[in-house]
Amino acid sequence: MLIAPALIGFVVFAVYPTLRGIYLSFTDFKVLSPPTWTGLENFQRLLGDQVFWSSLGVTVYFVVLSVVIGMSLSVVTAVVLHRLTSSTVIRGIIILPFLISGVVAATTWSWMLDSQLGIVNQLIEQLTGEPILFLGSRAWAIPSIALISVWKSMGYTAIIVFAGLQTIPPSIYEAGRIDGASELQMFRRLTLPLLRPVLAMVLVLTVIGAFQVFDIVAVTTKGGPANASNVLQMYIYDKAFGQFDFGYGATMSLALFAMLIVITFLQMRLMRASESDTN
Amino acid sequence: MRTKKLIPALAVLAVALPLAACSSGSGGDSADGGTVNWWTWDEKQAVSYKECIAGFEEENPGVTVNISQFGVDDYFTKLTAGFVAGNAPDAFQNSVQFFDAYAKQGQLEPLDGYIADSGYDLGVFNVGVKNWQYTDGKQYALPLDWAGSAIYFNEDMVTAAGYTADDIASMTWNPEDGGTFDDIATHLTIDENGVRGDEPGFDGTKVATYGVGNLGTEDYVGQTTWNPFVSTTGWRLGEPAAWATEFRYDDPDFVKSMEWVRSLSDRGIAPKLGEFTVGDTEQLGSGKVAMSSGGSWSATTFAQLPGVNVGIAPTVLGPDGTTRAMMSNSNGNEIWAGSKNKENAWKWISYMGTEDCQTKAALQSGSFFPSIPGAMDAVAADQLAKGVDLSVFVDAAKNGCIYPAYPSANGSEMGTTIQPLFEAYFTHERDDDVFPEMAETSKTILAG
């Protein structure tokens, strides 16, 4: 009985919407009239929808870039913090971008990256003589959005990794030093293996977060140019809330949900997330 | 025992109360016969139309008006949620983009009966009435405002290039060579070495000031960019004009016009797509652009740019040297079909559609153009006293240079499907073969 508030909240706000979403994915639902059952029609449409598959490709490209760059920078930042300083002020500064609203960060970055008026491009033009269309060209749109995303979320993941580093006993590094290991060897042979459970969790969270990118894209490129940055969430949002095609929107959301389950499962298995090397 | 029973009861109450609070809604208390709830997404219009409430309530004792404003990003989601939950406002501002979706699903009240019963004269409006007639021939909204386009220019740059305001106001255009508009835009362009666009040695890859802002994609109708140009050839987007079954993207005049638009960026006369991430006012304000084709709603913003003297010129004269043409969109004032207060809602929106109310509201902010000529004149006179000359728009409305942005089906899907194709064309990912595809795609979407 004591868990009733949580249970009711879970059922009302999580279980019911999920089941309802699954049901709607099999319907034609325009919101203002009742849903009509269409069976597998939406799924057949999904298979032949070129924009969906192109959006999926764009999203995967974004996920790979933002996760690889984000994880690498986070781990390096956390290790540097761990080895060199115990200042809480620096830790606070590192996490600051995470506290800024996504819309504010994206708007500010889009101004800074403007090829005519942005400060970043003024520097680049002085160095190379040519500005870069960061958000206006097919080649640069997704890498630019990934970098903004990494800038915004890196502090948060770095602090989680940092917390993981603090659980590693100093005696292990002492033993490493006595054995003559260099800093780089200790990082590869000691730090990374011991961090694996934390890294697995961070990886799962960042992959799921990256798959759900929306605000930065909506503010900076709106999916353009020519769908070059039309990530899946943008496409789903547009179908559902722009065109009131909630049935098909639910189908695409369900497909994304299924993909995330598979990816997360694979990640957990491959990284043996539940096991630790400390034993 | 009693405590054991009490805890789950309290728990249920704790969850149910917020839900109940959600369902009562904030602005849509339609059961209250004395209060008309009216929604807008425009914070300036929300304040402006409060000027009319006192007069309305005096004329209609016992009826009160409650105006609510929600940001445009949330507005239509909130409105749609209100339709579903049964607590939408009695009357509201609507955009033509959502006209079809709402009308098709029975959410809008036809106004013909109210108009006939009250003797309301739709002739008070000189623009916008036709924009709100649905496929069933019925009128679903009164026009709230109207908007067109113009050419904004940096007066100092134009003077330095040896032109006058009259030269800009009398620019001609044709799809073959761009007419005098092209000549003037080219001469206004200056590269980083100070060489003008029509002088030997001009470097179109290193431009300090573009002659004109990007005329490429803004939306699938190009209202403030390419449309005022191509419309002078007699081309119109929809076939037929209202509730079109196809969009004429494959028309030879249109294709030729788009080739010319793309050539501007290729030659360095206009910035490339995506070169600026800021809007047209910032581009002109920064001195990076000498002329900009923009919306009438930006007139006061352009006029107030610090350190830049901005002139307003009419859109170009077409190939025949006499035709100007621009499309004009109007937001609509509608009644929700599910309202329990429709009679009073009609009284309120028809009161808003009087010259007295439109004048009061428009003068309050100066941010929108009324669809009633007398009110528009009052706004233009008021703005002129403040240093903003809107005569270009007043003349366009009076001289028949504007034509309605007729509604069509599935506007949102059209935008998200056609715009990427335009972008692919303007970035040279695609060539002229994109236009037949656009025309075919438009048929499918319009039929959907």
- Domains of chain A are 50-270 (1.10.3720.10)
Among the partner residues B4, B12, B272, nearest to A8 by beta-carbon distance: B12
Q: Bridge-partner residues for B414, per DSSP?
A: none
A244 in B contact zone (CB under 8 Å)? yes
B1 in A contact zone (CB under 8 Å)? no
Judged against a pLDDT cut of 60, whether residue B12 lies above it is answered with: no
Residue B240 burial (CB count, 10 A): 10
Match 């990640």 to its residue by tokens: A267
Where residue A227 falls (left for φ over 0; alpha for ψ -120 to 50; beta otherwise) is left
Nearest CA in chain A to B108: A32
Tell me which of A32-36, B26-30, B215-219 is least confident: B26-30
Confidence (pLDDT) at A274: 62
Interface with chain A: mutation pick from B72, B203, B277, highest number of A CBs within 10 Å: B277
Among the partner residues A1, A110, A226, nearest to B7 by beta-carbon distance: A1
> What does the DSSP 8-state code read for residue A276?
-
From the list A98, A93, A83, the residue with the least C-alpha distance to A162 is A83
B142 and B153: one domain?
no
> What does the DSSP 8-state code read for residue B131?
G
Indicate whether B430 belongs to any domain.
yes
Among the partner residues A2, A115, A118, nearest to B7 by beta-carbon distance: A2
Q: CB distance A116–B271 less than 8 Å?
A: yes
* Helices B434-447 and B411-426: angle between axes, nearest 10 degrees: 170
Q: Which residues of chain A lie closer than 8 angstroms to B421, CB-CB?
A: 226
B307 and B337: one domain?
no
Q: C-alpha B36: how far from its chain's center?
A: 26
pLDDT tens, A123-138? 998 898 888 999 999 9
Residue A151 burial (CB count, 10 A): 17
Across A14-23, average pLDDT: 94
What share of chain A in percent tops pLDDT 90? 64
Note whether A222 and A205 are within 8 A (CB).
no
From the list B440, B444, B403, B439, the residue with the least C-alpha distance to B258 is B439
Judged against a pLDDT cut of 90, whether residue A70 lies above it is answered with: yes
Nearest CA in chain A to B18: A9
B232 and B372: one domain?
no
Across B302-322, average pLDDT: 93
Q: CB distance A32–B8 less than 8 Å?
A: no
Q: CB distance B7–A4 less than 8 Å?
A: yes
Confidence (pLDDT) at A8: 93
* Helices B391-398 and B373-385: angle between axes, nearest 10 degrees: 160
Q: Which residues of chain B lie closer than 8 angstroms to A113, CB-CB?
A: 277
Confidence (pLDDT) at A83: 80
A54 in B contact zone (CB under 8 Å)? no
pLDDT tens, B26-35? 344 444 458 9
The C-alpha of B8 sits at a distance from chain A's nearest C-alpha, in angstroms, of 6
Phi, psi of B274 (to 5 degrees): 90, 0
Which of B115 and B31 is assigned the larger pLDDT?
Answer: B115
Interface of A with B in 165-224 (CB under 8 A): 220, 223-224
B221 and B109: one domain?
no
Burial of B115 (0-12, 13-18, 19+ CB in 10 A): middle
pLDDT tens, B41-57? 988 889 999 999 999 99
Give the model's confidence band at B97: pLDDT under 50 very low, under 70 low, under 90 confident, else very high: confident
| DSSP-derived pairing of the beta strands B91-94 and B332-335 | antiparallel
Q: Could you tell me the CATH number of the domain that includes residue B87?
A: 3.40.190.10
Q: Which residues of chain B lie closer than 8 angstroms to A33, CB-CB?
A: 105
d(CA B175, CA B182): 10
B116 and B210: one domain?
no
The C-alpha of A208 sits at a distance from chain B's nearest C-alpha, in angstroms, of 25
Q: Per DSSP, which regions of chain A are E strands?
A: 27-28, 36-37
- Assign B265 to helix, strand or coil: helix
Q: Which residues of chain B lie closer than 8 angstroms to A115, CB-CB?
A: 274-277
Confidence (pLDDT) at A157: 93
Q: CB distance B412–A243 less than 8 Å?
A: yes
B268 and B159: one domain?
yes
Q: What are the b/e assignments for B126-156, b being 16+ CB within 10 Å? A: bbbbbbbbbeeeebbbbbbbbbbbbbbbbbe
Give the pair of three-digit tokens for residue A205.
């969270």
Q: CB distance A115–B275 less than 8 Å?
A: yes
Indicate whether B13 belongs to any domain.
no
From the list B309, B354, B390, the residue with the least C-alpha distance to B147 is B390
Indicate whether B218 belongs to any domain.
yes
Q: Which residues of chain A lie closer than 8 angstroms to B420, CB-CB?
A: 223-227, 230
Interface with chain A: mutation pick from B416, B425, B429, highest number of A CBs within 10 Å: B416
Judged against a pLDDT cut of 60, whether residue B18 lies above it is answered with: no
B181 and B223: one domain?
yes
Phi, psi of B335 (to 5 degrees): -110, 135
Judged against a pLDDT cut of 90, whether residue A113 lies above it is answered with: yes
d(CA A161, CA A202): 8
Indicate whether B15 belongs to any domain.
no
Domain that holds residue B199: 149-327+410-447
Judged against a pLDDT cut of 80, whether residue B17 lies above it is answered with: no
Q: C-alpha A183: how far from its chain's center?
A: 30
CA geometry: angle B220, B106, B42, nearest 5 deg: 55
Tally of CA atoms within 13 A in the half-sphere of B265 that contains its CB: 20
B231 and B295: one domain?
yes
B6 in A contact zone (CB under 8 Å)? no
Indicate whether B336 belongs to any domain.
yes
Match 């000359």 to its residue by tokens: B389
Helix, strand, coil shares of chain A, percent, nearest 5, are: 75, 0, 25
From the list A76, A16, A67, A84, the residue with the least C-alpha distance to A200 is A67
Which positions ≥6 away from A98 have C-beta within 8 Å? Answer: A152, A153, A155, A156
B74 and B86: one domain?
yes
A3 in B contact zone (CB under 8 Å)? no
From the list A267, A257, A242, the residue with the least C-alpha distance to A212 is A257
d(CA A171, CA A182): 15
From the list B85, B78, B97, the residue with the least C-alpha distance to B39 is B78
Which of B216 and B351 is assigned the larger pLDDT?
Answer: B351
Residue B8 burial (CB count, 10 A): 15
- Cα distances from B354 to residues B52, B124, B237, B360, B373, in angstroms, run 10, 8, 32, 10, 11
Give the pair of three-digit tokens for residue B149.
């386009």
Indicate whether B225 belongs to any domain.
yes
A117 in B contact zone (CB under 8 Å)? yes
A241 in B contact zone (CB under 8 Å)? yes
Confidence (pLDDT) at A87: 80
Indicate whether B101 belongs to any domain.
yes
Interface of A with B in 18-47 (CB under 8 A): 30-33
B418 and B335: one domain?
no
End-to-end CA distance of chain A, in Å?
39
What share of chain B in percent tops pLDDT 90? 69
A92 in B contact zone (CB under 8 Å)? no
B167 and B140: one domain?
no
Interface of B with A in 41-80 (CB under 8 A): 76-77, 80
d(CA B125, CA B116): 16
From the list B274, B150, B219, the residue with the least C-alpha distance to B421 is B219
Q: CB distance A238–B107 less than 8 Å?
A: no
Confidence (pLDDT) at A278: 54
From the list B37, B26, B28, B24, the residue with the least C-alpha distance to B344 is B37
B323 in A contact zone (CB under 8 Å)? no
Q: Bridge-partner residues for B326, per DSSP?
A: B402
Interface with chain B: mutation pick from A3, A117, A239, highest number of B CBs within 10 Å: A117
Among the partner residues B7, B105, B288, nearest to A116 by beta-carbon distance: B288
Confidence (pLDDT) at B274: 86
Phi, psi of B227 (to 5 degrees): -60, -45
d(CA B170, CA B159): 15
d(CA B234, CA A85): 71
Tally of CA atoms within 13 A in the half-sphere of A70 that contains its CB: 32
Number of domains in chain B: 2
From the list A12, A148, A27, A51, the residue with the least C-alpha distance to B421 is A51
B203 and B344: one domain?
no
